[in-house]
Amino acid sequence: MKKLLTTTVASLAMMSGLAYAENYQATNWMAPTHILNEVAFVPFVADVKAATNGEIDFEVYSSGSLVPAPTTLGAIGDGVAQMGIVAASYTPSDLPLSGLINDLAFVAKDDYATAFALTEIGLTNPKMVKEYANHGTVFLGGYSTPAYVFLCMKPLGDLNSIKGLKVRTAGTAQNEWAASLGAVPVAVPMTDVYSGLERGSLDCTLSDPTNLDKGYKFWEVVKSITTLEQGTSLGATYVYNKDFWNEIGPDNRRKILDATALGLARSQVAYAQGVAAALNGSAERKITIDEPHPELVEALAKFRSNLVENAPARTMKERGVEDPTDIVTEFLALQAKWTQLLEGVDRNDAAAIAKVVHENIFAKLDENTYGLN
């Protein structure tokens, strides 16, 4: 009877010339004011609703209110949510190749190029596509944070000042980096970092500066910022349930594909613009902002010099995959490609950036086949 009534309502809607709106769930563990929620999700969901004439309407669940970060991938695959944000650092055994790419971001210098390199390899490399498909999901694009820095409860100096400190990290590369300094890497969700710093279970967190004033509001608790740029952190901005992606049909898939480039571009622009605002606001709050000690700079250069070379073997050993050297080579080449593609493009103009991303990636995808195998 319920199915009959639903069908009847849908039929009446179509007869009256109105699209039948289907409500779906989107999950995001970020706070409502976080860039990856406020900028990446809210306007994107509105864009999709408008483009599909109301046929696809997502309700966004923020702050992990639907599912927490570590179980998001499984929840999307199981249909608890039809769309969500996924970070491989929370599930490295489930997404070993994505975790490898996140480790490589430790040497990233251009977060725009890194984000779009991740997006392109995730959409076009068969191994990457299959990695998400194995969990009943479809990857549709990724983000890169700005460069990570130290946010701490006390100023940092030379290497001795870091030894023994409990530092929140995300991913294998950050874990190994912190350990190489004599610090204690601590893996906890970002939602627990504020309280950890406040209670003393954490002394520092590695984070991009936008988390000072956006989302997690770390500037309410941290006392010191050390501006040692320690790569970026990557994630999948838009991941869909595979059955949902199949059921919405090629027309709606095309409309979502066409809307995605702008969603990704908005996020990167907001990230870039947010760094200066966060650091200026922190200075106004009398938070200490220090250049890194030369010993820290030297230690970082040494660590980075070995990371790329050692990444494939470590991934094979720890995550049980075949030699991923080809993934490393392709991702690094794509970073260089996107640095060139973005030359001369206004990095504050999301529409201009989205045009480049759409022309080089999303316009080339076939809505009749992508994500369906």
Mean pLDDT, the chain, integer = 93
Beta carbons of 152 and 183 less than 8 angstroms apart: no
Q: For the residues 110-118, what does the mean pLDDT come to?
A: 97
Q: Side-chain half-sphere of 281: how many Cα atoms within 13 Å?
A: 17
Residue scoring higher pLDDT (317 or 10): 317
pLDDT of residue 24 exceeding 60? yes
Q: For position 21, what pLDDT does the model report? A: 55
Enter the tokens of residue 348.
């504050």
Q: Which amino acid is at 30?
A: M
User: Where does the pLDDT of residue 373 fall: very low under 50, low under 70, confident under 90, or very high at 90 and above?
Assistant: confident
Q: In the predicted model, is pLDDT for residue 208 greater than 90?
A: yes
- CA–CA separation, 50 vs 57, rounded Å? 9
CA dist 221 and 59 (Å) reads 32
Rounded-to-integer distance, Cα 118 and Cα 145, Å: 12
End-to-end CA distance of the chain, in Å?
33
**Res. 6: pLDDT tops 80:** no
Q: What is the pLDDT of residues 60-97, one digit of tens each?
A: 999 999 999 999 999 999 999 999 999 998 888 999 99
Contacts for 363 with CB less than 8 Å, ≥ 6 apart = none
Query: What is the reported pLDDT for 171?
Result: 84
How many percent of the chain have pLDDT more than 90?
88
pLDDT tens sequence across 31-43: 999 999 999 999 9
- Per-residue pLDDT at 239 exceeds 70: yes
Over residues 155-181, mean pLDDT: 95
Structure token digits, residue 334: 């794509």
- Model confidence at 8: pLDDT above 60: no
Q: What is the DSSP string of 45-103?
A: HHHHHHHTTTSEEEEEE-TTSSS-GGGHHHHHHHTS-SEEEE-GGG-TTTSHHHHHHHH
**Residue 170: its pLDDT value, please?**
86
Mean per-residue pLDDT, 301-322: 92
Query: Of the given ranges (11-25, 34-48, 188-202), which has the lowest mean pLDDT?
Result: 11-25
**For 285-303, how does the pLDDT look when each residue is reduced to its tens digit (9 = 90+)?**
999 999 999 999 999 999 9
**pLDDT for 212-230, tens place per residue?**
998 899 999 999 999 999 9
CA–CA distance from 344 to each of 208, 275, 339, 347 (Å)?
A: 25, 21, 10, 9
Please, are residues 210 and 233 in contact by the beta-carbon 8 Å criterion?
A: no
Is the model's pLDDT at 11 over the cut of 60?
Answer: no
Q: Give the residue with greater pLDDT, 233 vs 171.
A: 233
